A and B are shown apart, each in its own frame.
Chain A
Amino acid sequence: MLRSCASRLRTPGALRGRLGGAPPPARDSRPPPRSFSSEVIYVDHSLPNPSWSKDMRLLFDQFMKKTEDGSWKRLPSHKSVSPQRTEEVKTFFPDAKPIKEHMSQAQLFPRSLEEGLGFEYAMFHNHVENRTVCIFQGGPYLQGVPGFLHGGAIATMIDSTVGMCAVLAEGVVMTANLNINFRRPIPLCSVVVINSQLDKVEGRKLFVSCNVRSVDEKTLYSEATSLFVKLDPKKSLT
């Protein structure tokens, strides 16, 4: 089961949110709590939209089927972090300066581009095996070498996916190391599957690895290993 209190420093916010589309068995079927401002509605972006290619939709459906027996869960994904999450994280940064007025438009990085242009993705988690899978379609604004996805864009999605795996296992964590081997360049606008796995936990250290493959699994695009550190509320970070 997803930890409802699991906080995440770097990735998608509220684990509570509106679940649209074919509803997976939800632990909590009540409507989501209202946010502080009645104007704000947390839209779930990890759902098919017109910019999703056929491959992306097929994969999404395959994974949605896997959620039917309860072993897998689709993770909702929002543009910004909920106020509750912000408060939880702030306890680790007591000296953090207040965010200036004009920055109140902060958005979670992978969700800050218009539909279809940047990161289109959906994540699924298996709590028994501690695996998080992300299906990802990189749009035309993520170019590196002409025709291919920027190394930094796939690094961002790898960081988000392994990070989610770590958060769901242990709560508030921070990326300490990220080690990526790029085997082949990813064509722009194609769909890839990022499979991440929690390998072991040693005290406050979490070791997560992942690989990035094509939809048919025949092409291995990259592999990564990462180290996360579980934050200690008693120790200030800054």
Chain B
Amino acid sequence: MIRRCFQVAVRLGRHRVLPGVPQVLPRLNPNSAFGSSTDSLVSRFCLKKTDLKDYALPNASWCPDMLNLYQEFLEKTKTDGWIKLPSFKSNRDHIQGLKLPSGLAVASDKSDWRIFTRCIQVEGQGYEYVIFFHPSKKKSICLFQPGPYLEGAPGFAHGGSLAAMMDETFSKTAYLAGEGLFTVSLNIRFKNLIPVGSLAVLKVDVEKIEDQKLYMSCIAQSRDQQTVYAKCSGVFLQLQLEEESSQ
């Protein structure tokens, strides 16, 4: 089923998978539904008891807008069913005990690899962000403050940095909402530039899940919603991770 879906995805574009290229996706049991419930995915992902540093916590570089909105959402985690997602240095830390299906997993994996959106660890200089996820509504809010190392036009965040933040928010939402793993497409319409050091609020919704793909939309705005920075639609491919066999 996966192979057929992957080929459908490829056929949607202009190019076919070239002959002779090894099959990327392994054969999966077509009867195994993507059945891991959102709750089990969330609890595994969120690792309550851990020594790992959580980067999605306030620090001195956060602007007042970001701090205020963070507090608002923290309140909502107690009453309205929202969850604050932890953010570790590597995606591997979020999926401990799980691995990519054989055939896809990379042979050597150095421990110093880092998730892109946490590549700049100096406080306030790169991506400052926190994602709140609502399991039953399948939506996310990302509070994003771009630092001076993300500059494109002088004084404004690089378009690529917003694209990356949107892709990352899609990625976490897709995984928790339905084991979405790989980006299939991103369609971004930029409207306004984000000043470095200011807050952008990204709202992500899962529109539908169909043919092993998750379709999501995102709007990035200023806190008062008066300025729209960009709108984006994204599609992610579902792929189930496997349990790591005990070694």
Contacts and interface: CB of A to CB of B under 8 A. Distances in A.
A141 B118 CA distance: 8
Contacts of A184: 24
Contacts of A178: 159, 163, 186-188, 190
Contact of A105 (B117, B125, B188): B125
A207 B133 CA distance: 36
A146 B190 contact: no
Interface in A80-108: 80-81, 85-86, 89-90, 93, 96-97, 99-100, 103-108
A90 B193 CA distance: 13
Give the most central of A146, A157, A181, A219: most B CB within 10 Å: A146
B92 interface: yes
B194 to A, nearest CB: 11
B116 A144 contact: yes
A152 B149 CA distance: 16
Interface in B153-184: 153-156, 158-161, 163-168, 171, 181-184
A176 B195 CA distance: 17
Given A153-B116, A180-B186, 4 more contacts: A112-B120, A118-B119, A155-B164, A220-B18
Interface of A: 9-11, 80-81, 85-86, 89-90, 93, 96-97, 99-100, 103-110, 112-113, 117-118, 140-148, 150-153, 155-160, 163, 174-185, 187-188, 218-220, 223, 237-238
B125 A187 contact: no
Given A86-B154, A146-B100, A159-B159, A106 B148 contact: yes
Contacts of A93: 155
A84 B189 CA distance: 29
Nearest to A140: B113
B119 A109 contact: no
Contacts of A159: 158-160, 163
A159 B161 CA distance: 10
Interface stretch (B50-58, B72-80, B102-110, B212-220): B102-110
A214 to B, nearest CB: 10
Interface of B: 10, 13-15, 17-18, 20-21, 24, 90-92, 95, 100, 105-106, 109-110, 112-117, 119-120, 125-126, 148-156, 158-161, 163-168, 171, 181-190, 192-193, 195-197
Contacts, number: 202
B126 A112 contact: yes
Contacts of A177: 187-190
Contact of B188 (A9, A179, A238): A179
A158 B158 CA distance: 12
A109 B150 contact: yes
A99 B241 CA distance: 45
14 contacts: A10-B158, A103-B197, A109-B149, A109-B151, A141-B113, A142-B116, A144-B167, A146-B109, A150-B164, A152-B117, A152-B163, A174-B193, A176-B190, A178-B159
A50 to B, nearest CB: 17
A153 B164 contact: yes
B155 A151 contact: no
Given A141-B113, A152-B116, A159-B160, A238 B187 contact: no
